[in-house]
Structure 1
Amino acid sequence: MVQISWLRAAVLVLCILPALVDARIRHYKFDVVATNVTKLCSTKPLVTVNGQFPGPTLYAREGDTVLVRVINHVKYNVTVHWHGIRQLRTGWNDGPAYITQCPIPPKQSFVYNFTLTGQRGTLLWHAHILWLRASVHGAIVILPKLGVPYPFPKPDKEEVVILGEWWKSDVEAVVDQSTKLGLPPNISDSHTINGHTGPLASCPSLQDGYRLQVESGKTYLLRIINAALNEELFVKVAGHNLTIVEVDAIYTKPFKTDTILIAPGQTTNALLTADKNPGTYLITVSPFMDIPIPVDNRTTTATVHYRNSSLTTTALTTIKPPLQNDTSIATSFLDSIRSLNSKQYPALVPQTVDHSLFFTIGVGVNPCPSCINGSHIVGAINNVSFVMPTVALLQAHYYNISGVYTTDFPGAPLSSYNYSGPGPKNLQTMNGTRLYRLPYNSTVQIVLQDTGVISPESHPIHLHGFNFFAVGKGLGNYNPASDPAKFNLVDPIERNTIGVPTGGWLAIRFRADNPGVWFMHCHFEVHTTWGLKMAFIVENGNGSDESILPPPKDLPKC
């Protein structure tokens, strides 16, 4: 984790003080400031948390209540999203700006208050407004309840490994420029591993990068998080296999692999055993993109360093990263992930479906008189490009404020075409703040169909407020007559973020047992900015235990 020098410029500081009021309540203070990340060899200040890039790790146990006071000292509005935390009936604390809360203005604060119910594992927190999550992000480690062991061999030590992206320029300036031009933003200048860019020629002090210190014969649990904005990433460790035991805070059937694929917003827990000859072994992080779209194609590196070896005398064991478009490696890894589905941790897959939805996802082109080409790229779900409101949707729903949104989001495309083909001639999308309403405790199936309107592309889709089961996937167009027969309704993986295959489809199922307003969007930040997002309203059930809790008294106002 890179330490940062403070600047006087105002920024977001998340100052975490791990004081315990009792065994079940954890208090944290997230303060805020503009900081210069000296180890990035950059003179550009970043919005950071606690002067650290990435930010500090939030530790708690299953069943704990967590209170985090976020104080905003920067010029930007700020929110923090606790990515993957279910937020049962506490949607006010979920964090996406203008969806569940109005943002925290400069010089103001807000206390996030939520309970970790039925969850344990690795998740992440990050800013959920503008592109601030480029530097405002960190890990959430939820330990099992006291006395409850992991369902895999206990590791000797645990390490948080956060992958990210870094721009030499101000990220918000990059986004503003692309918006004015109507073109995609510039790609990042480097990937990062725990805040280190690796051996960049322009920054000789970083030649060693991040170093994972290990001892021969011991096993390490690597809590790997992809906090990058726009890229799926391959991870490899030279000479070592990794045993996957958890993804997105869900235990998996353990399996060995030499390559991990992890999309933005996803987490993967892997066991690494230091069973090789003492020495230094390269870790590589490189992008996966199976179509010719520009990405940051640099490979960032770190090292596994055996403590009983010397960096000056021991040769470095290297390894080549996968090819950027190696779909076979990506598919093999993803197909190996299954829920543990044990007696203690069952996979409660909905066997019947109350709401069957079909969502096309992709990009389009809309008129833009002020843009350089007279048009700009937009993202869309079922041809609807989401328009962000100026009043938080949950607030509008709770207080019955009219005119903020409609509940007519289409449950299927309004017109049919060859979704995985060239697409329709008219590339324009509809604009609107349109939501889909779900009764409490109803079961939902969504088939997410990638489209080739401009170009097919994998989309890591994140659903707030719920985990879901990935029951089926395939290439080409989804066939409702034959494809459901191949669904896995026994032990599919349960996640909160998952990639829709390039030029293909993915079917997910979940139970709508969490009342509130819940965001669903692509976790490529560029696509979210373009409008590839929507939201569900889940109605209250019967009684107070199945209803949204009242809003906090210090909830920010728009």
Structure 2
Amino acid sequence: MDGPAQVSQCPILPGSSFTYKFKVEQVGTYWYHSHTRGQYVDGLRGPLIIHDPGNPFHAQFDEEIVLTLSDWYHKEIAELMPKYKDGGGMMSMEPVPDANLLNDTQNLQVPVQPSKTYLVRVVNIGAFVGQYFWIEGHTMTIIELDGSYVRPTVAEMIYLASGQRCSFLLTTKVEASQNYPIVASMDQSLIKMSDRVNTDVVGWLVYDLAQPLPSPVEIKEYNPIDDMGILPYDDMPLLRKPDQTIILSLNMEHKNGGSQYTSYFFNDVTYETPQVPSLFTALISGDAATSVATYGRSSNPFVLEHNQVVELILNNRHMINHPFHLHGHQFQAVWRSESGGGDFPVGTLTEDDFNQKPVRRDTLVLPNGGSMVIRFRADNPGVWLFHCHMEWHAETGLVATMIEAPLKLQQQSIPLAREHFCAPSGTEISANVTNEVDSLPKIHEKTSSLALGPIVLLLAGFVAIPTVIIGIFWICKKGQSDDEPKYRRLEPSLEL
């Protein structure tokens, strides 16, 4: 379970509800949002923090601050998405945000006290642009990325793509003599064809309300810390010699002679939501669940064997950066080229050329015209999406489906209530999309009328979340291998 309609469940229809009950063993900084028709662009999103009673940095801070970064559109997704998909010409590109927000507002004031240390959690809940983030007159000591602890790393500026999170320790000044700007600045390489957007949002660390709120110093060059050089807190070594390597090459196609955008592709396949949720297909297909043909080509499926080390090689044949997010895992960020570095040079690099203690994240930026390598152990049976976390790209097909350990997955079951829940939407729950399983009813492969949005999260203790149109990303039942970091299980309930 993690929420995407037609992947792990049927859609939650207007006026209906759905309750998720799950146990979570993860801790840290996450977020939740809708998975359907780009709804999170309109604001159906927010941070979700899971406190760790065994936090190794607990004694080093006094209080917590949560900050969200988000691009914002004045028009709703129902108007913006059709125009993006069907027209506008080659130079229109993705819809340009109308504003930049800090905690869903502008001119945010964050009160602080002198000589204190704060744990600041920053989440980019935006739909499109990456953000440069800094606090004038202060340094940040990074201790967590995407829910994974890291070795304390000092930075003056960070970069967060859509979906990424960063937590850092910030120690305030001894004297409360002035206030300091908090600045988030949109990555203008993604919106450089437009001059109508205000790319910066400014807030303040407020030491003294009686003091002025100064304007930020103009930045001539952005120089964020490189997350590839940050080390995992537990020193987990590189997963060497992968059992399975998947190469995904990203591209985009125009239609009508190049005058309009149409679709994004992984290996010449544009993802379309299947008529039968892929999880249901995996559960009912018996031995055929290990065949990619069972799931239909348009779902862009890849079958992973249980407990094997999986390597994903990403080639970006497009002109902008893309943040890629994997459900169900924190992967190792093994290697990344510079922008314009071309496809990954298969066969020319050795294991010694890779990060020997790679940082773990669930979202990583693929550079424009470049490539990157990530690895993870397939120890979490399920159906997990891998997709670009720019909503415009996920909605136009830049998605793949990881069918992980399907035979192991068949040892689990879905509550029978799914039949009653799925019936109103007309979703098939036991049909055979590709006619690969003789015992199942046969239907033609076609796609659902639902469009798929991005992804989200889930996390700690025993939880019951009443939700409308909200997906949850991460893990329902996580089987840890010896390679994975061990977290203390949270016993109290999380009330949302």
Fold in common (TM above 0.5) = yes
In the alignment, what sits opposite 2:482? none
User: Residue 175 of structure 1 aligns to a residue in which SS?
Assistant: helix
In the alignment, what sits opposite 2:381? 515
| Superposition deviation, residue 317 in structure 1 | 6.1
In the alignment, what sits opposite 2:81? 175
- Structure 2 letter corresponding to 1:281: Y
**Pair 1:461-2:324 in alignment:** yes
Structure 1 residues 481 and 174: CA distance shift in structure 2, 3 A? same
User: Residue 123 of structure 1 aligns to a residue in which SS?
Assistant: strand
Is this contact kept in 2: 1:472–1:507, CA < 8 A? yes
User: Residue 394 of structure 1 aligns to a residue in which SS?
Assistant: helix
**Pair 1:338-2:231 in alignment:** yes
Output the CA distance in 1 between the equivalents of 2:359 and 2:181: 30
Structure 1 residues 338 and 547: CA distance shift in structure 2, 3 A? farther
Is this contact kept in 1: 2:204–2:213, CA < 8 A? no
* 1:249-260 alignment, distance < 5 Å: 249-260=147-158
Q: How big is each residue's C-alpha offset from its partner over 1:503-531, in whole Å with a ceiling of 9 and x where there is no partner? A: 21111000111112111100011111111
In the alignment, what sits opposite 2:443? none
Q: How big is each residue's C-alpha offset from its partner over 1:383-424, in whole Å with a ceiling of 9 and x where there is no partner? A: 211122232111122223999997159xxxxxxxxxxxxxxx
Output the CA distance in 2 between the equivalents of 1:466 and 1:548: 20
Bigger RCO (CA 8 Å, 6+ sep): 2
Q: How big is each residue's C-alpha offset from its partner over 1:158-181, in whole Å with a ceiling of 9 and x where there is no partner? A: 011111122112222111233332
Output the CA distance in 1 between the equivalents of 2:411 and 2:161: 31
**Pair 1:439-2:305 in alignment:** yes
**Pair 1:527-2:396 in alignment:** no
In the alignment, what sits opposite 1:365? 254
Is this contact kept in 1: 2:388–2:398, CA < 8 A? yes
In the alignment, what sits opposite 2:23? 115
Output the CA distance in 1 between the equivalents of 2:94 and 2:158: 27
* 1:41-56 alignment, distance < 5 Å: none
In the alignment, what sits opposite 1:400? 285
- Structure 2 letter corresponding to 1:130: R
| Superposition deviation, residue 214 in structure 1 | 0.3
Give 1:244's match in structure 2, choosing from 142, 147, 161: 142
- Structure 2 letter corresponding to 1:215: Q
Give 2:3's match in structure 1, choosing from 95, 103, 128: 95
User: Residue 306 of structure 2 aligns to a residue in which SS?
Assistant: coil
Give 1:154's match in structure 2, choosing from 17, 39, 60: 60
| Superposition deviation, residue 102 in structure 1 | 1.3
In the alignment, what sits opposite 2:72? 166
Is this contact kept in 2: 1:472–1:484, CA < 8 A? no
Is this contact kept in 1: 2:302–2:402, CA < 8 A? yes
* 1:18-167 alignment, distance < 5 Å: 91=1, 94-117=2-25, 119-134=26-41, 135-145=43-53, 148-151=54-57, 153-167=59-73
Is this contact kept in 1: 2:146–2:362, CA < 8 A? yes
Is this contact kept in 2: 1:98–1:390, CA < 8 A? yes
Give 1:189's match in structure 2, choosing from 92, 98, 104: 98
| Superposition deviation, residue 501 in structure 1 | 1.6
Is this contact kept in 1: 2:240–2:351, CA < 8 A? no
- Structure 1 letter corresponding to 2:384: W
**Pair 1:382-2:267 in alignment:** yes
User: Residue 127 of structure 2 aligns to a residue in which SS?
Assistant: coil
Is this contact kept in 2: 1:360–1:448, CA < 8 A? yes
Output the CA distance in 1 between the equivalents of 2:255 and 2:297: 10
Output the CA distance in 1 between the equivalents of 2:322 and 2:251: 8
Q: How big is each residue's C-alpha offset from its partner over 1:164-223, in whole Å with a ceiling of 9 and x where there is no partner? A: 122112222111233332654521111111110x2xxxxxxxxxx211110000011111
Output the CA distance in 1 between the equivalents of 2:291 and 2:88: 27
- Structure 2 letter corresponding to 1:380: F
User: Residue 483 of structure 1 aligns to a residue in which SS?
Assistant: coil
Structure 1 residues 512 and 315: CA distance shift in structure 2, 3 A? closer
Output the CA distance in 2 between the equivalents of 1:315 and 1:187: 29
Structure 1 residues 293 and 522: CA distance shift in structure 2, 3 A? farther
Q: How big is each residue's C-alpha offset from its partner over 1:242-262, in whole Å with a ceiling of 9 and x where there is no partner? A: 111100011111111111100
- TM-score of the superposition, structure 1-length normalised? 0.68
Output the CA distance in 2 between the equivalents of 1:162 and 1:170: 20
| Superposition deviation, residue 434 in structure 1 | 3.0
- Structure 2 letter corresponding to 1:514: N
Gaps of 5+ in 2: 428-496
In the alignment, what sits opposite 1:502? 368
| Superposition deviation, residue 350 in structure 1 | 1.9
**Pair 1:301-2:186 in alignment:** no
In the alignment, what sits opposite 1:210? 108
User: Residue 226 of structure 2 aligns to a residue in which SS?
Assistant: helix
Is this contact kept in 2: 1:441–1:541, CA < 8 A? no
Output the CA distance in 1 between the equivalents of 2:14 and 2:287: 28
Is this contact kept in 2: 1:123–1:248, CA < 8 A? yes
Output the CA distance in 2 between the equivalents of 1:486 and 1:98: 41
| Superposition deviation, residue 294 in structure 1 | 3.8
In the alignment, what sits opposite 2:239? 350
**Pair 1:552-2:415 in alignment:** yes
Structure 1 residues 125 and 511: CA distance shift in structure 2, 3 A? same
Structure 1 residues 515 and 348: CA distance shift in structure 2, 3 A? farther
- TM-score of the superposition, structure 2-length normalised? 0.76
Q: CA RMSD in A?
A: 2.8
Structure 1 residues 336 and 539: CA distance shift in structure 2, 3 A? closer
Output the CA distance in 1 between the equivalents of 2:121 and 2:168: 7
User: Residue 338 of structure 1 aligns to a residue in which SS?
Assistant: coil
Output the CA distance in 1 between the equivalents of 2:276 and 2:337: 38
User: Residue 392 of structure 2 aligns to a residue in which SS?
Assistant: helix
Structure 1 residues 352 and 241: CA distance shift in structure 2, 3 A? same
Gaps of 5+ in 1: 1-90, 199-208, 410-429
Structure 1 residues 405 and 193: CA distance shift in structure 2, 3 A? farther
Is this contact kept in 2: 1:408–1:434, CA < 8 A? no
Output the CA distance in 1 between the equivalents of 2:88 and 2:392: 12
User: Residue 227 of structure 2 aligns to a residue in which SS?
Assistant: helix
| Superposition deviation, residue 446 in structure 1 | 0.9
| Superposition deviation, residue 141 in structure 1 | 1.1
Is this contact kept in 1: 2:164–2:363, CA < 8 A? yes
Q: What stretches of structure 1 move > 6 A for 4+ residues in a row?
A: 401-406
Is this contact kept in 1: 2:237–2:358, CA < 8 A? no
- Structure 2 letter corresponding to 1:384: V
